[in-house]
Amino acid sequence: MSTFAMQFIDGKWVDGKSEKELSNYNPYTNEHLFTMYSASDEDVDAAYKAAKRAQKEWGQTLPSERAELLNEVAKIVEKRKDEIIDWLVKESGSSITKATIEFGAALNIIKESSSFPYRTKGQIMESDFPGKENRVYRSAKGVIGVIGPWNFPFHLSMRSVAPAIATGNTVVLKPASETIVTAGSLIADIFSEAGAPDGVINMVAGRGSEIGDAFVEHPIPKVISFTGSTEVGAHIAELAGKHLKETALELGGNNAFIVLEDADLDQAVDSAIFGKFLHQGQICMSTNRFLVDERIYDDFIDKFVERVEGLKSGDPTEKETVIGPIINKDQIERMEKDLDETVKAGAKVLTGGKAEGLVFLPTVVRDVTNDMPLAKNEIFGPIAPIIPFSTEEEAIDIANDSPYGLSGAIHSKDIHRATELAKQVETGMIHVNDQTVNDESHAAFGGEKASGLGRFGGEWALDKFTTEKWVSVQGVRREYPF
């Protein structure tokens, strides 16, 4: 516990140099977990300089050494599974089911990344000049700054950390202030235990309002990877753009779940329950809007409400619990405001609709239109607004009438029909006869429009964290026109 309440810089656990403190609380019990000194701009500078020193050597290591480190990290993660899940439950309010899913996703990212050292390939190309050979070398970009979120903290931080280190980069990680351990300290500790050289991974914890700009604008990092809100992501992109830094941004979503009239309703409802209520809906990919053909609207709602009313809410340490706590009171108040305004606009609450402490009961709202707050705004909570539509064209128009474009889902027994419609939804990811919360370590993960820039996962992560250099070799004397 005392180790996790410190910064990790150049292989050492140290107190932050700021006079300000960060306190960590269990969102369900309000238990005080620890208090630590925040990182200062000086700590950020020290971490980036340590990463830069380490990268010179780490970037030249054999692929077998980097693969071996990632394989060892995977072994340690598996060994410390219970500890990781316990921290996810008590620090981020994860249910045991959600924490177990997150653990598995993070482990898959590590295993996928362990293959990257041998997949980092250049190429040799022909030339139009006699005796010339064109070579393209691929190498690490250098130092990567990673800003981790609070909702899937272990997985979404590891999603950038593991591939960055595997491809020869070094990392400075800044966790969300609500999840210092699971988005930061645990990851640094695991890599350290696995034998990562000093400076390969560094962790600085501090509020974004205090060290966030310095973290992004520092001259050393070549890429800033961020997962979080669109508002913060836009600010990061603006700061990075001033300094011509590359970004990898996975931001907010307003994901549409479309149910056509020929859908298997039981399958659609099962998908809808998972896609909406996993981690209380606090996932960028969570279903935000349910678009249901008016011919089956009432039937879908009846089945959906019956399932929702059977979901257990409360203590996330109990295995049966599906709906645990919202991360903080501000999020509760924001949801209550949007729900109240949506009801005043004519929608009807069918079940739920209130909070018990920080546990917001699973809520279903019918007769929603796309201009109501629950449909316009990212909910990030266990509220399911259901919107009727009459034609396929109307469904696509509603789905696309949003500044976001992260994930989506379409249900139909006609897979070709659903796939053709899926192509028309302006989103980076969409899933036929499934739900919106999908993440596979080898697939392209990312959004369109205000949902982000770039892609994570597999070869797309490999591309993000490496750069290419063209080296031409003139093997014979070249003749010039003057």
Catalytic residues: 250
Closest CA to 251 of 214, 226, 270: 226
Closest CA to 153 of 171, 180, 113: 180
Give the side-chain half-sphere CA count within 13 A for 313: 19
Closest CA to 145 of 126, 167, 164: 164
Cβ proximity of 10 and 46 under 8 Å:
yes
- Rounded to 5 degrees, φ, ψ at 391 are -135, 160
The strand pair at 383-389 and 363-366 is best described as: parallel
Q: How far apart are CA 91 and CA 27, in angstroms?
A: 7
The C-alpha R_g of the chain, in whole angstroms, comes to 24
Q: Which token pair is 272?
A: 């809808």
Which residues touch 117 (CB under 8 Å, ≥6 apart)? 63, 64, 66, 67, 166, 167, 168
- DSSP for 231-293, please give it: HHHHHHHHHHHHTT-EEEEE----EEEEE-TTS-HHHHHHHHHHHHHGGGG-STTSEEEEEEE
